[in-house]
């Protein structure tokens, strides 16, 4: 096999891992609360700034900075739900979308005010893995493994805990569960916190790969939404698989065609899926 | 004040005032009071960190210094600033505001070619002056015969001429191979800026019989460029020519390193590559010896070879800029912002006000067409003379000069044109992170 094609395939898988985590978080929140957090990528951006600040400015060890980022962004997720989403739970969907879209601009503006428009970098570097002619980025590989561990933890939480079971139940039938004694408001809050934690984890993985700036969400936000819709909004497994599918299309498409063309192929595939299965590839 | 405005009578008075102001003709207002000049740059969004912010700061210093030196005919210049937010549609809306609501006769600035292309047509249509201080795509002016759009800075074909000539001149002596054996690769962001530079490089390389083994575009907001890196490795490019903004440049450099990409030289073409402070902060010694094409920042030039009074002007600019904005090596965009705004203020606005007593777009346009500054007459070393209407590059400064510079421990030094540059380090020295092995 052409080693460069093999490298492109591996890159696609690793890229899928990067997309998978925010897609999981977004899908979890939508599946449970039934509200799309348009500002999800901006929560990730705030988390990236937190890691950058604690590591480069406050001098914390990177692991500690990342550990602190998780509760911080989880807290942001909780605040977002409590202050913005909760009052609009019974409002028309367009109001909810506009409200979380408004938060997107508030967070971008706040980051611009506090951190200016400069591009910030952790300056963390890891040597690549060399397998003959194939190079694998060390940073990406670690990020990929961490994303898999994060996804496995989420799966275990949803599968084996009482709260996780309640979350899955609410996601399946929002009307019946309150009749069974589950307090949906509490579950919404918990799901928002978990969604925020996943955004925090995504921030830790992205901050070693991308520069942080107030508009960094533009790099991966739109594609994360596309992945969620393609996998079936609210369907976590679907989103997870769609992330890898998208990573592979972009990477191999870019190798066979051109980098620019790869996104055209990815978006074309997305449109095709929307025509054939508007509910998403893996929607039940 | 709030109380007055919230009463019915207060509102009516305020409304009447606004209505009265709107009836005063623009020409009458242009005869007295401050001279209002629009400065449109990207103060937010990705372009801000890729040079647009220092572009604005440079313009700000120019206007401040101009005012302190007496302004134009004793009248002070007032900035009316607009943030185009790194988005073309915002730039268009802001231009409408500046020309409509603010009734400006001239707007300077414009960082991105993606904004300059749609804006130039609107300015031409409305017969208002657009004074481009940064956007470089040749396509902004070429064959458009625009008569209200002026660009004192270089255009993308000149960037291509700089980088290709530089490699062509040094191929045999420093790369140990004939120029027609040097494998060039061109990667570029897919907007008018990158596309313009890439087309220019391809044409220049063809002219010199140099092979372009790969030419590929990407979106500046792409989250991943590792496949591009893989393909560059496969093509075994000797020299990579790159036209990018930011953060795509830092993403590329990072992924090139982790993807094992090696080359003999990387040449950037302005924009993000001109932010030497930022690149050095992020990559340290990894960006040493990498080259960049742009008009020279003033501190790179031999000040003794500039025209009378120009070195003093450059010193005044640098002193004010560095006092206000901490910078090891002020980016090229700061010099561009200052210089190209200064050219407008000193050589266009001042004569127009002296001649007509006001600053209508037509008076400014007439004055712009009369500008004749010899080489060495501006702080970036070039002269100024605009191509006349009816010529293919109408509005372009025919005396603008791009140089090739090389990074050296956080500073940039000119290495081309050979006549004014120091000898380059070429190829990248052994032991360099990206050096071919």
Token pair listed for B302 = 């031999």
CB of A137 within 8 Å of a chain B CB? The answer is: yes
Q: Hey, what CATH class is A3-114+136-276 in?
A: mainly alpha
Task: List per-residue pLDDT tens for chain B, 437 residues long.
Answer: 334 444 444 444 444 444 444 444 444 455 678 999 999 999 988 889 889 999 999 999 999 999 999 999 999 999 999 999 999 999 999 999 999 999 999 999 999 999 999 999 999 999 999 999 999 999 999 999 999 999 999 998 999 999 999 999 999 999 999 999 999 999 999 988 999 999 999 999 999 999 999 999 999 888 899 999 999 999 999 999 999 988 899 999 999 998 999 999 999 998 889 888 888 888 889 999 999 999 999 998 888 888 889 999 999 999 999 999 987 788 899 999 999 999 999 999 999 999 998 899 999 999 999 999 999 999 999 999 999 999 999 999 999 999 999 999 888 999 998 888 899 999 999 999 999 87
CA B102 to chain centre: 25
Give the B window 63-122 contacts with A, CB below 8 Å: 86
Provide the ipTM.
0.89
Does domain B157-294+402-416 bear CATH number 3.30.460.10? no
Is A138 in contact with B223 (Cβ distance < 8 A)?
Answer: no
- Does residue B218 belong to the interface with chain A, where contact is any CB pair within 8 Å? yes
What secondary structure letter does DSSP report for B238?
S
Burial label for B42, CB within 10 Å (0-12, 13-18, 19+), is buried
Name the residue facing B218 among A123, A215, A260 (closest C-beta).
A260
Contacts of A258 in chain B (CB under 8 A): 216-217
A81 touches chain B (CB under 8 A): no
Q: Tell me, what's the pLDDT at B7?
A: 46
In three-state form (DSSP H/G/I as H, E/B as E, the rest C), the secondary structure along A94-123 is HHHHHHHHHHHHHHHHHHHHHHCCCCECCC
Strand pairing report for B403-408 and B291-294? antiparallel
pLDDT in the model for residue B415? 94
What secondary structure letter does DSSP report for A81? I
Reduced to 3 states (helix: H, G, I; strand: E, B; else coil), residue B83 is strand
- Give helix then strand counts, H and E, for chain B: 15, 12
Q: Which residues of A touch B86 (CB under 8 A)?
A: 215
Closest residue on chain A to B222 (Cα):
A219
Q: Which residues pair with B218 in a beta bridge?
A: B189
pLDDT of residue B23: 44
* Cβ contact, residue pair B48, A117, below 8 Å: yes
From-to residues of CATH 3.40.50.2300 in chain B: 25-154+310-370, 157-294+402-416
Nearest chain B residue to A207 by CA distance is: B251
Q: Which chain B residue has its CA at the smallest distance from A213's CA?
A: B46
Size of interface A-B (CB pairs under 8 A): 112
Peptide bond into B425 cis (omega under 30): no
Average pLDDT over residues A104-122: 91
Question: How far is CA B77 from each of CA B94, B95, B109, B339, rounded to the nearest angstrom?
Answer: 20, 19, 15, 16
User: Where exactly are the structural domains of chain A?
Assistant: 3-114+136-276
B114 vs B110: CA distance, rounded Å: 9
Nearest to B278 among A8, A112, A118 (CB): A118
CA angle A38, A41, A42 (to 5 degrees): 90
- Output DSSP code: residue A177: G
- Determine the residue among B54, B225, B227 to mutate to test chain A binding: the one whose Cβ has the most chain A Cβ atoms within 10 Å: B227
Contact indicator for B280, A162 with CB cutoff of 8 Å: no
Residue of B nearest to A247 (CA): B224
| B251:A137 CB<8 A | no
From the number of C-beta atoms within 10 Å of its C-beta (0-12, 13-18, 19+), residue B294 rates as: buried
* B258 contacts in chain A (CB < 8 Å): 126, 128, 135, 137-140
Q: State yes or no: cis peptide before B247, omega within 30 of 0.
A: yes
Q: Which residue of A has its CA nearest to B433?
A: A127
Angle between helical axes of A184-206 and A138-160 (0-180°, round to 10) = 170
With 0-12 / 13-18 / 19 or more C-beta atoms within 10 angstroms meaning exposed / middle / buried, residue B209 is exposed
CB contact under 8 A, A258 and B250: no
Q: What is the pLDDT of residues A205-238, one digit of tens each?
A: 999 888 899 999 988 999 999 999 999 888 888 8
> Domain B25-154+310-370, what architecture?
3-Layer(aba) Sandwich (3.40)
Query: Residue B336 in 3-state DSSP?
Result: helix
CA dist., res. A117 & res. A121, Å (int)? 13
Question: Looking at A166-170, A268-272, B168-172, B212-216, which range is the least confident one?
Answer: A166-170
Task: State the average pLDDT for chain A.
Answer: 90
DSSP-derived pairing of the beta strands B184-189 and B35-41: unpaired
pLDDT average, residue stretch A244-270: 92
* More confident position, A175 or A64: A64
Tens of pLDDT, residues A184-208: 889 999 999 999 999 999 999 999 8
Residues of chain B with C-beta less than 8 angstroms from the C-beta of A211:
246-247, 250-251, 282
pTM of model > 0.90: no
Contact B228 A123 (CB under 8 A): no
Angstroms from B114 CA to nearest CA on chain A: 17
């Amino acid at each position: 096999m052409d080693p460069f094609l093999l490298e492109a395939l591996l890159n696609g898988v690793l890229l899928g891992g990067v997309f998978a985590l925010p897609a999981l978080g977004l899908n979890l929140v939508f599946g449970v609360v039934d509200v799309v957090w348009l500002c999800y990528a901006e929560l990730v951006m705030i988390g990236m700034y937190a890691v950058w600040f604690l590591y480069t400015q406050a001098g914390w060890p990177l692991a500690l900075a990342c550990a602190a980022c998780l509760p911080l962004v989880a807290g942001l997720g909780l605040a977002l739900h409590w202050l913005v989403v909760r009052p609009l739970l019974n409002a028309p969907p367009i109001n909810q979308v506009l409200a979380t879209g408004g938060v997107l601009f508030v967070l971008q503006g706040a980051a611009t005010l506090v951190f200016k428009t400069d591009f910030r970098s952790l300056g963390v570097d890891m040597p690549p893995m060399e397998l003959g002619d194939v190079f694998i980025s060390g940073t990406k590989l670690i990020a990929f493994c961490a994303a898999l561990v994060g996804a496995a933890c989420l799966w275990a939480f949803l599968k084996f805990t009482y709260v996780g079971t309640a979350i899955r139940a609410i996601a399946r039938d929002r009307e019946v569960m309150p009749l069974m004694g589950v307090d949906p408001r509490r579950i919404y809050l918990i799901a928002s916190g978990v969604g925020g934690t996943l955004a925090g984890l995504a921030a830790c993985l992205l901050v070693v790969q991308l520069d942080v700036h107030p508009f960094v969400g533009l790099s991966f936000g739109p594609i994360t939404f596309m992945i969620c819709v393609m996998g079936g909004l609210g369907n976590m497994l679907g989103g997870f698989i769609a992330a890898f599918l998208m990573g592979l299309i972009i990477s191999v498409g870019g190798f066979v065609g051109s980098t620019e063309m790869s996104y055209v192929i990815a978006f074309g595939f997305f449109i095709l899926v929307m025509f054939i299965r508007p509910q998403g590839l893996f929607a039940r | 004040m709030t109380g007055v405005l919230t009463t019915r009578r207060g509102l009516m008075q305020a409304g009447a005032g606004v209505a009265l102001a709107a009836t005063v003709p623009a020409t009458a207002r242009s005869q007295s009071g401050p001279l209002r000049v629009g400065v449109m740059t990207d103060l937010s969004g990705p372009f801000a960190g890729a040079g647009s912010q220092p572009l604005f700061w440079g313009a700000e210093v120019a206007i401040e210094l101009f005012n302190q030196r007496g302004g134009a005919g004793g009248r002070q210049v007032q900035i009316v600033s607009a943030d185009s937010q790194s988005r073309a549609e915002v730039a268009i809306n802001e231009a409408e505001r500046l020309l409509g609501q603010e009734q400006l006769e001239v707007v300077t600035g414009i960082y991105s070619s993606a904004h300059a292309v749609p804006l130039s047509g609107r300015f031409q249509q409305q017969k208002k002056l657009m004074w481009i201080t940064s956007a470089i795509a040749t396509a902004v002016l070429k064959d458009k015969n625009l008569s209200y759009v002026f660009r004192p800075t270089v255009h993308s074909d000149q960037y291509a001429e700089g980088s290709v000539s530089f490699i062509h001149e040094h191929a045999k002596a420093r790369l140990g191979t004939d120029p027609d054996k040097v494998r060039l690769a061109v990667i570029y962001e897919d907007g008018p800026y990158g596309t313009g530079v890439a087309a220019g490089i391809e044409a220049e390389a063809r002219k010199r019989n140099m092979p372009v083994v790969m030419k590929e575009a990407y979106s500046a907001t792409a989250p991943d460029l590792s496949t591009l890196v893989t393909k560059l490795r496969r093509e075994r490019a000797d020299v990579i020519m790159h036209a990018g903004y930011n953060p795509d440049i830092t993403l590329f450099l990072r992924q090139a390193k982790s993807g094992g990409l090696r080359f003999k030289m990387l040449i950037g073409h302005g924009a993000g590559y001109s932010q030497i402070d930022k690149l050095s902060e992020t990559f340290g010694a990894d960006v040493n010896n990498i080259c960049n094409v742009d008009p020279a920042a003033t501190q790179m030039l031999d000040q003794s070879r500039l025209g009378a009074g120009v070195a003093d002007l450059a010193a005044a600019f640098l002193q004010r800029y560095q006092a206000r904005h901490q910078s090891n090596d002020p980016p090229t965009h700061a010099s561009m912002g200052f210089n190209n705004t200064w050219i407008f203020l000193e050589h266009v606005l001042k004569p127009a006000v002296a001649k007509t007593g006001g600053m209508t777009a037509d008076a400014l346009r007439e004055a712009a067409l009369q500008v004749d500054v010899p080489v060495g007459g501006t702080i970036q070393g070039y002269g100024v003379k605009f191509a006349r209407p009816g010529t293919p590059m109408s509005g372009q400064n025919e005396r603008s000069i791009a140089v090739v510079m090389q990074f050296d421990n956080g500073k940039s030094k000119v290495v081309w044109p050979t006549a004014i540059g120091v000898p380059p380090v070429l190829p990248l020295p052994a032991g360099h992170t990206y050096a071919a092995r």
